[in-house]
Structure 1
Amino acid sequence: MRTLAVVAAVLLLGGCTSATEAQPRAGEQCGETIRTDALPEWARAGFSWDGSGTKHVYSAEGDILAILFGHPLSSPSAPDRSNKILWVARDQYEHGDLRIDAELAGTTTRAEAKVAGGPGPSIIDLPRPGCWHVTLTWPGHTDSMDLTYGAPSP
């Protein structure tokens, strides 16, 4: 089994936005659908059951799954919980990094992160609460999904 390194560096590429801009605007919705049904068979490695009850989000094309061990995701991260996401790719791929390019809905705020070695465990901290559209690129594949980051609970 290959070792996956987690790169925790997240670079803020865009400008600052106000708190009202960080939330989806009227008429906009975050396309994220958090599921808790059984994980697909291709995403069950390391699970001793079918994964039912585990929060997860499918990508637009269904080529990658985000298993949200840090749910609810928050920005900044909660003091008692990290934004841990396990990325699981449906198909085999050549060795290479998973690149995450994120854009906050309704703004010009962007961020990027990298999971060294490709899909696997990560801590993904994004700079603002809101609906983030993420484009995921790994060797031979590109897919996307929306992820919601809330403000941490007081």
Structure 2
Amino acid sequence: MRTLAVAAAVLTLAGCTATTQPAETPSTAAAKCGETVRTTALPEWARAGFNWDGSGIKHVYGAKGEILAVLFGYPLSSPPGPDRGNKILWVARDQYEHGDLTITAELAGGTARAEQKVSGGPGPSIVDLPQPGCWHVTLTWPGHTDTMDLTYGVPTS
């Protein structure tokens, strides 16, 4: 069964590697990135825990619409900003068997990869990636896979 209230976990990346190639600037990365950040009402299936329709909350749909990333840490940055983290609430559209959510991220151009797990499946997470740019993210949880692009910029503060 889908669990939205997973214990808040600060996750660390396992097996992150990054090359020494210069990172793209945030504006260049965003121009190449397929990310579409929305602030419209959240779909009804993603509103658990909200006391309104979620309008104004920044979110990104998976390419197949099977998962939604609620970007509480927007804008995402690498390294994380000193005053906030890269918190993402992953919400699965359909119920699923118990199991972990695996997040596999690849920087546009294939110059860096990162992987981490969210115990118990979609739920709250901190997703810190090793450098700024456009990241193609593959999300896998029991019986489901979806993808999305997420832009990580340079911290502004």
Is the TM value for this pair above 0.5? Answer: yes
Matching of residues 118-137 of structure 1 within 5 Å:
118-137=121-140
Q: 2-side partners of 1:117 and 1:99: how far apart? A: 10
Q: 2-side partners of 1:90 and 1:106: how far apart? A: 30
1:59 to 62, 67, 78: 62
- Checking the alignment, whether the CA contact within 8 Å between 1:24 and 1:106 is kept in structure 2 is no
Q: CA deviation at 1:29?
A: 1.4
Match of 1:76 in 2: 79
Structure 1's unaligned 5+ residue stretches are none
Q: 2-side partners of 1:70 and 1:135: how far apart? A: 19
Write the deviation string for residues 20-79 of structure 1: whole angstroms up to 9, x where unpaired. Answer: 4576979x7100000000000000000000000000000000000000000000000000
SS of 2:45's partner is helix
SS of 1:19's partner is coil
The share of aligned pairs that are identical, in percent, is: 69
Match of 1:10 in 2: 13
Aligned Cα RMSD in Å? Answer: 2.1
Q: 2-side partners of 1:34 and 1:114: how far apart? A: 23
Q: CA deviation at 1:153?
A: 1.0
Q: 2-side partners of 1:16 and 1:22: how far apart? A: 16
Matching of residues 31-46 of structure 1 within 5 Å:
31-46=34-49
Q: CA deviation at 1:15?
A: 3.9
- Give the TM-score normalised by the residue count of structure 1: 0.91
Matching of residues 87-106 of structure 1 within 5 Å:
87-106=90-109
Q: 1-side partners of 2:142 and 2:119: how far apart? A: 12
Q: 2-side partners of 1:67 and 1:16: how far apart? A: 29
Structure 2's unaligned 5+ residue stretches are none
- Give the TM-score normalised by the residue count of structure 2: 0.89
SS of 1:70's partner is coil
- Checking the alignment, whether the CA contact within 8 Å between 1:4 and 1:121 is kept in structure 2 is yes
Greater displacement, 11-20 / 95-104: 11-20
